[in-house]
Chain A
Amino acid sequence: MISSIGRFIIGVFSSTGGVVILFLRTLYWVFIGPFQKKPVKLESVFYQMGFTGLRSVLIVFFVAIFTGIVLAMQTAYQLEKMGAVLYVASLVAISLCRELSPVLTALVVAGRVGSAISAELGTMKVTEQIEALEIMAINPVRFLVVPRFLALFFMLPCLTILGNLSGILGGFLVGVGSLNINPYLYLQTSFKYLELKDIYTGLTKSFVFAILIALVACFEGLNTTKGAEGVGRATTRTVVISFILIILADCVLTSIFYFSNM
Chain B
Amino acid sequence: MQRDYSQEAIISVRGVSKEFDGRKIIDNVSFDIYCGETFVIMGCSGSGKSTLLRLMTGAIKPTEGSIIIKGKDISKLRTYQLDELRKSFGMLFQYSALLDSLTVEDNVALPLREHTKLDEEIIKIIVKMKLSLVGLRGFEKYYPSQISGGMRKRVGLARAIALDPDIVFYDEPTSGLDPVVGGVIDKLIKDLSEKLLITSIVVTHDMQSVFRIADRVAMVHKGKLIQVGTPQEIKNSENPYIKQFINGLPQGPIDFFKEDIGILEEFI
Give the B-binding residues of A (Cβ under 8 A): 120, 123-124, 127-129, 131-139, 143
Contact = CB atoms under 8 A, between A and B. Distances in A.
Contacts of B59: 131, 134-135
A133 B97 CA distance: 9
Given A129-B98, A134-B86, A137-B84, 19 more contacts: A120-B101, A123-B100, A124-B99, A124-B100, A127-B95, A128-B94, A131-B97, A132-B97, A132-B99, A135-B169, A136-B86, A136-B110, A137-B82, A137-B86, A137-B87, A137-B111, A137-B115, A138-B111, A143-B114
B170 interface: no
B166 to A, nearest CB: 14
Contact of B97 (A128, A138, A143): A128
B111 A136 contact: yes
B89 interface: yes
In this complex, which of B59, B99, B110 has the most chain A Cβ atoms within 10 angstroms of its Cβ? B99
A128 B95 contact: yes
A129 B94 CA distance: 11
A143 B106 CA distance: 14
B19 interface: no
A128 B86 contact: no
Query: For the complex, would chain B's binding face be called helix, strand, loop or mixed by DSSP majority?
Result: mixed
11 contacts: A129-B100, A133-B99, A135-B86, A135-B91, A136-B159, A137-B82, A137-B84, A137-B111, A137-B115, A138-B111, A139-B83
A137 B83 contact: yes
B38 interface: no
Contact of A132 (B87, B93, B114): B93
B114 A136 contact: yes
A143 B102 CA distance: 13
Given A132-B91, A135-B91, A127 B97 contact: yes
B75 interface: no
Contacts of B87: 137
Which bucket holds chain B's interface residue count? 20 to 34
B58 to A, nearest CB: 8
Contacts of A143: 114
A123 B99 CA distance: 10
Contacts of B97: 127-129, 131-132
A144 to B, nearest CB: 10
* 3 pairs of A and B residues whose beta carbons are closest in the complex: A132-B97, A137-B83, A128-B97
A120 B95 CA distance: 17
Contacts of A127: 95, 97, 100
A111 B210 CA distance: 49
Contacts of B57: 135
Contacts of B159: 136
Nearest to A44: B101
Nearest to B99: A129
Contacts of A131: 59, 93, 97
Contacts of A134: 59, 86
Nearest to B59: A131
Contacts of A139: 83
A133 B86 CA distance: 11
B11 to A, nearest CB: 15
B83 A128 contact: no
Interface in B62-100: 82-84, 86-87, 89, 91, 93-95, 97-100
Contact of B110 (A120, A123, A128, A138): A138
A62 B159 CA distance: 45
Contact of A138 (B91, B98, B114): B114
A128 B152 CA distance: 14
A135 B95 contact: no
Contacts of B86: 134-137
B115 A128 contact: no
A249 B59 CA distance: 36
A228 to B, nearest CB: 14
Contacts of A135: 57, 59, 86, 89, 91, 169
Contacts of A124: 99-100
A251 B5 CA distance: 69
Contacts of B110: 136, 138
Contacts of B101: 120
Nearest to B92: A132
A211 to B, nearest CB: 24
Interface string B203-245: 0000000000000000000000000000000000000000000
